[in-house]
Chain A
Amino acid sequence: MRNKFADAIYEIGKQDPRICALVADISPAGSMVKFREEFPERFINCGVAEQSMIGIAAGLALKGMRPFCYTIATFSLYRPFEMVRDDLAYQNLPVTVIGMGAGVIYSTLGGTHHTMEDIAVASAIPNMTVLAPCDPEEMRLATTWCATESKGPVYMRLGKAGEPDLTSSVVDPFEVGKIRYLRRGDGDLCILSYGITMKMAFDVADRIQEQTGRAPSVVSVHTIKPLDTAGILSALSSHDRVVVMEEHVPHGGLSSRVKEVAWDNRVRADLSCFTLKDEFIHYYGDHAGLLDAHGLSAERVIRALV
């Protein structure tokens, strides 16, 4: 995803002189080098100084630019949180904060490098849009929207590398603020997910279909804020069962939001949520192993559903 992000920024930056990239000593390789070489005045490496990255981006936006700030998610959102809130959101500036390698994707790096509550934190800020595209193509479309159409700040949660293509043959268009059916099932089960967890959602859907013959719907909730309330309500009412899968703590993410929507609209639904635990887990193995330690795996979801 990070390479495709760099490609996207480079392509958009060629067309639009307002696009600039700020990084904090972490750079997606490949095309970001091309961006830096071709548009050196629009590329700033702030060093290991994330507060300055966000503050300077805000100053650039106040002078008409549309900056992207890029580093690992913990450092792009948590470290400079007050700059994100005051400089970007309070002034409602069109700056996109990229949180790369979110969730517990850096499984061996420990809790300092895990972003388990970013959706809750970013969603709590007024004016903030929160996006989590599920594959490189959805990320490209989301990045294009941030560069050309966003009216205020965006926090965009990305994975790292190697995410498979999940959407290139999907009929539903990508539209910020609308949920997107990647598969339309037979009305039994609907899986709501986003971002890096979507591959696991597909795995669950495939295996449930194999085992039961029922075809689950799979939905990319790539825009967590503003949430497509009507779309969520429709998914809740048009399926017998709904599952939320997310690589995020149980509180303040998509699970909480879907429950809110159901409660606020007095919808009776069979809703199950699979998330990270509300815990720092000291596990040093691969990503799947750490997710499993949190209770998030395709097997566990399938076991609960079949």
Chain B
Amino acid sequence: MRNDFDITASRQRCMGYRRRILEISQQVQALHAAGAFSCLEMVDVIYNGLMRGPGSGNSPDTFVMSKGHGCMAQYVILEELGVLERRDLDLYCKPEGRLGCHPDYGVPGIEASTGSLGHGMGLAIGMAYAERFVHKNDGGVFTVLSDGELQEGSTWECMMMAANLGVDNLVALLDHNGMQSFGNTAETHPKFYPIREKLEAFNWETAEVNGHDADAVYNAVVSRKGGKPFMLIGNTVKGRGVSYMEHGAIWHYRSPNPEEYKQALAELVEICS
């Protein structure tokens, strides 16, 4: 693990990523901006803090965006790392382009196809197992899940298996924004909570932090005890960074109109926590 994580640089990067995502939003009617904004700091920590040599093409570590609809967060980072070209993002969801609303395996920097919820955990476990027990190297596997994915039975099947297999090189970051299409999860599915106790009952090591506090995210991951698969519950706000997107279900998918775009740019500030 690297230990030179620069929180100031991370805040500046995330500000730039949000700006870039908003810019792209003006080319398309929909792009899942709010879900990308809620996991942005965590994805930044993974690429720019936890992975070794991201974008080099031969990183020993792997990232799977299990919540595939959050892939704008991944695309803008891959662009900055030089893995994707500016043109790729400019052609997002356009016939001549190669980037869609969900990440596709085969696109540079995309290690697995996702989009349907509840698939990333199995993929990540298989990868982690192969690195740890078959290839016998120190490759880490990082994945970002949505909280909605914890309602998929497949995710729990796989989490139980992860502990059985002893994949302690697996680090999952849960984008817990608490919001789903039908409203707040706490109201629509109150027994979804508590999360952490359920994970620990499945023999995962866990931690819980503010998912927009990149420093806290980074430190929670690097200071984990190890010996078990690890899940960080990152408490986040869907649409974080743009006031009218925060907590608004419509922004799960919709792009802002030109007026809203201007307002969003005007109010973007560095998110400190």
Q: Mark contacts of A123-151 with chain B using CB atoms, 8 A cut-off: 1 yes-contact digit, 0 otherwise.
A: 00000000000000000000000000000
How many pairs, one residue from A and one from B, have CB atoms within 8 Å of each other in the complex?
101
Q: Is the CB of B123 within 8 A of A52?
A: no
Q: For residue B130, which residue of chain A has the nearest CB?
A: A63
Task: Point out the residues of chain B lying under 8 angstroms from A17, CB to CB.
Answer: 134
CA distance A61 to B157 in the complex (A): 19
A47 near B: Cβ within 8 Å?
yes
A56 contacts partner chain B, Cβ-Cβ < 8 Å? yes
From B115, B116, B131, B134, residue with most partner A Cβ within 10 Å: B134
Whether A55 contacts B113 by the Cβ 8 Å rule is no
B130 touches A55 (CB 8 A): no
Encode contact with B along A46-59: 1 for CB under 8 Å, 0 otherwise: 11010110111111
Residue A259 is within 8 A (CB to CB) of chain B in the complex = no
Interface string of B117-138 (1 = CB under 8 A from A): 0110111111111110111000
Whole-angstrom distance between the alpha carbons of A59 and B130 in the complex?
8
Alpha-carbon distance between A90 and B112 when the two chains are bound, in angstroms:
10
Contacting residues, chain B, for A49 (C-beta < 8 A): 157-158, 160-161
On whether the beta carbons of B125 and A55 are closer than 8 Å, the reply is yes
The size class of the interface chain A forms with chain B is 20 to 34
CA distance A86 to B111 in the complex (A): 14
Identify which of A44, A55, A90 contacts B154 (C-beta below 8 A): A55
User: Is B95 part of the binding interface, using a Cβ–Cβ cutoff of 8 Å?
Assistant: no
Q: When chains A and B are docked, how far (Å) is the Cα of A115 from the Cα of B160?
A: 28
Closest to A17 in B: B134
Report chain B residues within 8 Å CB of A54. Answer: 122
Q: Is the CB of B130 within 8 A of A52?
A: no
Contact of A87 with B by CB under 8 A: yes
Task: Report the bound CA distance from A87 to B154 in whole Å.
Answer: 13
With beta carbons under 8 angstroms apart, the residue of A42, A58, A86 that contacts B126 is A58
CB contacts (< 8 Å) of B125 on chain A: these are: 52, 55-56, 59
Q: Which listed residue, B121, B127, B158, B161, touches A60 by the CB 8 Å rule?
A: B127
Q: Binding site of A, secondary structure by majority: helix, strand, loop or mixed?
A: helix
User: How far does the Cβ of B202 sit from chain A's closest Cβ, in whole Å?
Assistant: 13
Nearest-neighbor residue (CB-CB) of B112 within chain A: A62
Chain A residues whose C-beta falls within 8 Å of the C-beta of B124 in the assembled complex: 59
Report B21-54 CB contacts with A as 1/0, cut-off 8 Å.
0000000000000000000000000000000000
Q: Which of B121, B129, B130, B153 has the most CB of A within 10 A?
A: B130
Tell me whether B126 and A60 are in contact (CB under 8 A).
Answer: yes
Chain B residues touching A, range: 20 to 34
Q: Would B130 and A91 count as touching, CB distance under 8 A?
A: no
B119 touches A44 (CB 8 A): no
A32 within 8 A of B: no
A41 contacts chain B at the CB level, 8 A cutoff: yes
Taking the closest CB of chain B, its distance from the CB of A270, in whole angstroms, is 45
Bound form: Cα–Cα A87–B116 in Å: 10
Q: Does A64 contact B (CB under 8 A)?
A: yes
Residue contact A87 to B122, C-beta cutoff 8 Å: yes
- CB <8 Å contact, B130 and A64: yes
Is A258 at the interface (CB under 8 A from chain B)? Answer: no
**Distance in Å from the Cβ of B93 to the closest Cβ of chain A?**
18
B165 interface residue, CB < 8 Å from A? yes
**Is the Cβ of A59 less than 8 Å from the Cβ of B116?**
no
Give the residues in chain A near B129, CB-CB below 8 Å: 44, 56, 59-60
Contact residues in B for A80 (Cβ distance below 8 Å): 154
Q: How far is the CA of A87 from the CA of B68 in the complex (A)?
A: 13
Q: Which chain A residue lies CB-closest to B164?
A: A47
Q: Is the CB of A83 within 8 A of B126?
A: no
B192 CB-CB contact with A under 8 Å: no
The minimal Cβ–Cβ distance linking A164 to chain B, given in whole angstroms, is 37
Pick from A47, A63, A91: contact of B161, CB below 8 A.
A47
Q: Give Cα A61–Cα B118 distance, bound, in whole angstroms.
A: 18
Question: Are B161 and A46 in touch, CB under 8 angstroms?
Answer: yes
Taking CB atoms, residues of chain A closer than 8 Å to B160 are 47, 49, 52
Bound together, the chains give a CA A62 to CA B122 distance in angstroms of: 12
B105 within 8 A of A: yes
Q: With both chains docked as a complex, state the minimum distance between the C-beta of A101 and any C-beta of chain B, in angstroms.
A: 22
Does A65 count as interface, using CB distance less than 8 angstroms?
A: yes
Whether A20 is near chain B, meaning CB under 8 Å from some CB there, is: yes
* Additional A-B contacts beyond A56-B158, A60-B127 (8; CB < 8 A): A20-B134, A49-B160, A52-B154, A52-B157, A58-B123, A58-B126, A59-B125, A61-B126
The 4 closest A-B pairs by CB, nearest first: A55-B122, A59-B126, A63-B130, A56-B126
Which of A's residues lie within 8 Å of B, judged by CB? 17, 20, 41-42, 44, 46-47, 49, 51-52, 54-65, 80, 82-83, 86-87, 90-91
5 chain-A/chain-B pairs, Cβ below 8 angstroms:
A47-B160, A49-B160, A51-B157, A60-B134, A63-B131
